[in-house]
Amino acid sequence: RSYTHTNTSMKFAANLFLLFASASAFAPANLNAPRAAQSALFMADDAAPEPVRIGTRGSPLALAQAYLTRELLMEKYPELNEKGAIEICVMKTQGDMILDKSLMELGGKGLFTKELDTALLNKEVDICVHSMKDVPTWLPEGTILPCNLEREDTNDAFISGDESVQVLDDLPDNAVIGTASLRRQAQLMAKNPTWKCVNFRGNVQTRLRKLDDGVVDATLLAIAGLKRMDMQACATTVLNWDEMLPAVAQGAIGIQCRDDDERSLKYISGLNHEETKSCVDCERSFLEALDGNCKTPIAGLARIIDGKLRFRGLISMPNGSETFRTESEGEVADAVAIGKAAGEKLKADAGDKFFEMMVEMSPQQVLGQLSKK
């Protein structure tokens, strides 16, 4: 009984203390306190600045790009070096979760951005970091993409599962190549129609593991992604743009925000790399002019050489049987116009019938020799 009474008394005292403590928290400030004390009190009332929340996919490559963005923000803006000033918010997209189907069967590139777009518009994140080649040419209303970080190497890496095969042309007839990209498939099969391309999705580590397991004889990956994860040693060789023209915006990172978010706009605009932005804008203008989708193999690359913007692009049948190419050059300031003109030219060269066939084909017909494994 004595123990019970003591315990009860202690509980009462504790509750009484909490009651007075809670009441004092809501008491008005002592306006007669010294000015310094008043200032300190009002400073305490001011909440710490809201963190900059970075939305990203959860793959190793996406995370590497998000952490690179965080590092660059911290380097440029001292206030973002404070603990908790930047948060990384990871989310899964539909494209990450469904790996047994090709992107074309699932409905296109927006599969890697829709969830991030929604989080951005709902103010769950402040900025989103994307691989630009995954971003559709249209953006949701209320969002903008004003920043491209300095571009990494744009080329594709050839990775062989056989030490005796060091370059693409060393692959024998009927070799099996893992790729989920119709762009790569079309250019590969144009080189050698006997090669077989199989659907090869998943993150970089998953694809390399399948290669080691002998599922395929070789695969192609963007060298930019390998470099960002310090895995470039995995590449057997790097293909130049004469051997394999890259995807539009390959190797570029884009940062998106809401169009009315002045704070985020200030931060990410300071990270923009003008040369990269000009080249990416040219390539995306080319893609938009073609109304490109995941049924059409499209490649395009802009480079600034000796102060001029040089662009090269192509469209092809998925099996590489028919390819249309274009090259152009002009002033960097005219990047968007150069890309648009190149796209319109290829559209005219290929003719309406070419694009009608792409629209009418089922995913299975478009994939041609592409099979799942």
306 included as an active-site residue = no
pLDDT over 90 at 334, yes or no: yes
Determine which of 15-19, 259-263, 368-372 has the lowest per-residue pLDDT on average. 15-19
pLDDT over 80 at 38, yes or no: no
More confident residue, 48 or 228: 228
Average pLDDT, the chain: 83
Query: What pLDDT digit, counting tens, does each position of 211-237 carry?
Result: 999 999 999 999 999 999 999 999 999
Do residues 244 and 156 lie in contact, with contact meaning Cβ atoms separated by under 8 Å? yes
CA angle 365, 368, 373 (to 5 degrees): 115
Query: What pLDDT digit, counting tens, does each position of 298-331 carry?
Result: 999 999 999 999 999 999 998 999 999 999 999 9
Of 134, 156, 217, 261, which is the active-site residue? 134
Contacts of 308 (CB under 8 A, 6+ apart): 329, 330, 331, 332
Return phi, psi of residue 193, to 5°: -65, -15
Query: What pLDDT digit, counting tens, does each position of 177-207 carry?
Result: 999 899 999 999 999 999 999 988 778 888 9
Compute the average pLDDT of residues 161-169.
Answer: 94
pLDDT reported for residue 35? 38
Q: How far apart are CA 177 and CA 185, in angstroms?
A: 9
Contacts of 258 (CB under 8 A, 6+ apart): 120, 121, 123, 126, 142, 143, 144, 264
Query: What pLDDT digit, counting tens, does each position of 63-97 carry?
Result: 999 999 999 999 999 999 999 999 999 998 765 55
